[in-house]
A and B are shown apart, each in its own frame.
Chain A
Amino acid sequence: MTWIVLGEKNGKIMLVSKNNVTGLLPKGSYLTVEDNDSKFILRVDGTYQQEPYSPSPMVIDMDLSPLNPDQKCQNIITAYRVKDISNRSDGLIDYIKPQLLARRSNQEEIDLALGATGTGPQVFIATVHSGQNQLLTDDENKLMTTRLPNDMFFHQMLICGKTGSGKTVATKYLAQYFIEELEGAVLAINVKDVDFLKMDKPSVTNSPQVLEEWKTLGQKASGIDNFIVYYPANTNIRPTKGVTQDVCQRITLNVREIEPESLTGLLQGITDAGAQNLPNIFRWWQEDKIDRGNEEDFTFSNFVKYFQKAQDDKYHFRTLNSRGDELEITLHAGTYNNILRNLDNVVDFFDNENAKSLDYDDILQHGKMSVIDVASKNGVQFGSIVLRHLLNQIVSAKSEQRSTVPILIIIDEVHQFYNSNASNEALGDLDTICRTGRSQKIGVIFSSQNPTDIPRGLSSVINTKIFFKSDAAAAKSHGILISSDEMESLKKGFAAASIHELPQLKLLKFPMAFAGVFEKEVK
């Protein structure tokens, strides 16, 4: 298949197809133009058909059939020049001369054009035209792939898409790559159903397309070996959900270890000023218990009882702030009752017997995927406290060089997780992590149906944005140029993207994850 360069117009190269081209080359495809020792790689930005003989409609109107040659169509293409391969050294840029011939680029040329590195998760390059998504192929119909840069993980990622658009499957694929190829650790927060709870199991599919894609990548279904699901000790993960019970572990919050600031995550329907009192009250109580060495009384239930007794003391408390200053405060009765109600609701999360209290070294292990299941009642509050607690520990461990294990933190369905004061606080901590993640090898993936769910401060430090089928206007606000029609037509797994250090990749398709995805999910 060959196209002929017509010239340049408005900064784009225009081409027309030769006779041997029988269809439209879709947007997102790559063309290579050769001129002696120079090569130019172009990315197709516009494509349409032209009828060179523009037959009269009169014959059809008169119920006559047209001449076959009059139905000839040509493919007119406008394309961006994305890569020049030239020996030129005089400071000028080569012309792409009219009448030069172009052909579909091969894998090597596409790699050059994209500037893809030799390592990173492989994805398929995709095209779109008139509501049709296709995978890019070369002249031998071989699927064209590229690798997302590994560095992308540590410059934070946003994955958006409507339910069923493929964002969770893509996130699983990236998580598995991070574990198996980068030998990092993954910490995922599961907020919905059993999305992330079966990553120990190989994916199941009979889809010929998926199998063909895996074959192209030289991969097959495989579960993650080192996988564990942590869930609040006061809840159950029912076996009927198909979750392997052996990989599930109950966890609890430990009143001895809990960071006092984390407790604000428990409070709902209370003013910020009122909420700020709880950590200092708790810190005084915690320190007091440690000083007294009274292990038996050192439970969260006892803290709640201690808090209740303040009714007799006109809501008067002794406090200890993070600098170590001891002070005294009197809570307003309304604030007091509100805090008490909240504390009473979450007593179940603390100090459960036969449950583990998570520490950073449970998470920071090479090749381990940890999932905290917060899909249960009040789970988001629990999760937010655990996450915040862990994030503080992980950042400390990394900054003090107690661990060099790269970690990827996945916040799935951010809109659900963010829908409380508790998680709001946790996300505030993530902001700090996002800004220092690169140096400490901490990556965060935010997954959401709507990019506006991401706090404004966070969105400015996210360098990779992947939009599955979602709102085109929202994608545009994140610098992804895609029309509403094209966005609406994105099939499952196809996405428009702005990838860190891979600016030329605009449309891609994620392979189905090798673990944790089952037939019904890939229909």
Chain B
Amino acid sequence: MENFNKLFFHPSFNDTIEELSRLNVQLPPNPSYQEMDFHLNTYPQNGKLISKIEDIKSYSLSPKKGEKLARSNITLCAYDESINKFSGLEGAAFLTSHSLIVHHKNDYLPLNLLTFYFYTRAESFSKNSPLIKYSQDPETDSKKDYVNDRHKFIVDNTPNNSILFVDGPLIGGEISSYTLKLNNELLKKNVVPLFFVKNSNSNLVTDNIEELTGNYNSDMHWAYRSLKTGERTNLFKYVDQFNERNAKIFCYLKAFNVSPQRVEIHSSTFEKHSNQLPDLLDLVYYLLLVQGDLKNPQIRSISIAEKYARATLNLIDIDKLMKSSGIIPTMNQERFGW
């Protein structure tokens, strides 16, 4: 664990800021919190639902079993990130804090990575520097950089033989290959990665099970109606119609009388660790109770990772660092600072 309790900066972090200053670029003082939205990047793309893993019914979760597992020698880790977006006339900058925490004996050990990228549609602007990224679609390109950094950060730093909770879904679409690579490399380290999705409107279940179709707005709606607190649905398998290797196993879990969450793992993870999964879901339930946030249910570990992500993000005052640049903030940011 000697690598933990540290904050790293991406190798191009300082250079990018210096470059922006050199180019007289000024970023607005008040960034907006940015959520990476992957709802159009369902993994796998073009999937179909196979529901034969378990009988379709509700399953009770045991927080006692989860507690026992949490207090065993197992290593628990969690990943979350926090992003600030600075929108200027010349382009947009993304300041991201990647946060990984480990449950240690009497403390949470954090490890954070700060990255900073600037994207512009002005090609001539970026020609002057390799650190100014030319992009016709900054949103998409920023996601690619984010996913790339995230995957490297997680793989490099997650301790072997641990359970890893990741806030966010398995990512599909153009960046499916990253997801596959991440998962495989973690499995090589004997890490069990579980991904958590909240506030999803996906209909992976309700669109594929005839008797549910048309009765529910989303899977979350269905799960909320059919589950009691402390229950989960059966496990579903969602498979790429063209490549069976691209598949995930998921279920919905209702810890409190609010919207459930989706817990998903890659099919290759399931193949290797299927016998542990029921216990891990009990652990998830226990960790949701430990956090105990009824308004925003989240497992404890991810919540701590998020705190560190936000705290480290707040350490950086981009406005101060960029004070000598001359970029003109857009109207909204000048008026409202968002």
Contact = CB atoms under 8 A, between A and B. Distances in A.
A86 B142 CA distance: 48
A117 to B, nearest CB: 44
B237 interface: no
A70 B290 contact: yes
A72 interface: yes
Given A55-B290, A59-B289, A64 B108 contact: no
B304 interface: yes
Nearest to A52: B307
Nearest to B101: A69
A55 B303 CA distance: 11
B103 interface: yes
B105 interface: yes
Nearest to B291: A56
Given A57-B292, A58-B289, A65 B67 contact: yes
Interface string B289-307: 1111100000010001001
Contacts of B6: none
A67 to B, nearest CB: 6
B320 interface: no
A58 B285 CA distance: 13
Interface string B67-83: 10011000000000000
A64 B106 contact: no
A64 B105 contact: no
A62 B286 CA distance: 10
A64 B300 contact: no
Contacts of A53: 108, 304, 307
A216 interface: no
Contacts of A56: 289-293
Nearest to A70: B290
Interface string B90-112: 00000000000001111110000
Contacts of B71: 65, 67-68
Interface string A24-63: 0000000000000000000000000000010111110010
Given A64-B63, A65-B71, A72 B107 contact: yes
B292 A68 contact: no
A228 B190 CA distance: 86
Contacts of B293: 56
A118 interface: no
B189 interface: no
B106 A72 contact: yes
Interface residues of A, number: 17
Contacts of B188: none
B152 interface: no
B114 to A, nearest CB: 16
A59 B292 CA distance: 8
A69 B300 CA distance: 11
Query: Main secondary structure on chain A at its contact with chain B?
Result: loop
A58 B292 contact: yes
A484 interface: no
A66 interface: yes
Interface string A66-83: 111111100000000000
A241 B291 CA distance: 69
A64 B289 contact: yes
Contacts of B289: 56, 58-59, 62, 64
B320 to A, nearest CB: 14
B292 A67 contact: no
A55 B64 CA distance: 17
B292 A64 contact: no
A3 to B, nearest CB: 17
B292 A71 contact: no
Nearest to B293: A56
Given A57-B292, A59-B292, A64 B286 contact: yes
A522 B304 CA distance: 51
Nearest to A53: B304
B106 A71 contact: yes
Contacts of A65: 67, 71
A53 B104 CA distance: 14
A57 B123 CA distance: 55
B106 A59 contact: no
Contacts of B103: 67, 69
A65 B116 CA distance: 41
B290 A66 contact: yes
Contacts of B67: 59, 64-65
B292 A69 contact: no
A7 to B, nearest CB: 14
Contacts of A70: 290, 300
A55 B307 CA distance: 13
Interface string B24-42: 0000000000000000000
A341 B307 CA distance: 86
A19 interface: yes
B107 A59 contact: no
B290 A67 contact: yes
21 contacts: A53-B304, A53-B307, A56-B290, A57-B292, A58-B290, A59-B67, A59-B286, A59-B289, A59-B292, A64-B290, A65-B71, A66-B290, A67-B70, A67-B290, A68-B106, A69-B105, A69-B106, A69-B108, A70-B300, A72-B106, A72-B108
Given A53-B108, A68-B106, A71-B106, 19 more contacts: A53-B304, A53-B307, A55-B292, A56-B292, A56-B293, A58-B289, A58-B292, A59-B286, A64-B63, A64-B286, A65-B67, A66-B290, A67-B300, A69-B103, A69-B108, A69-B304, A72-B106, A72-B107, A72-B108
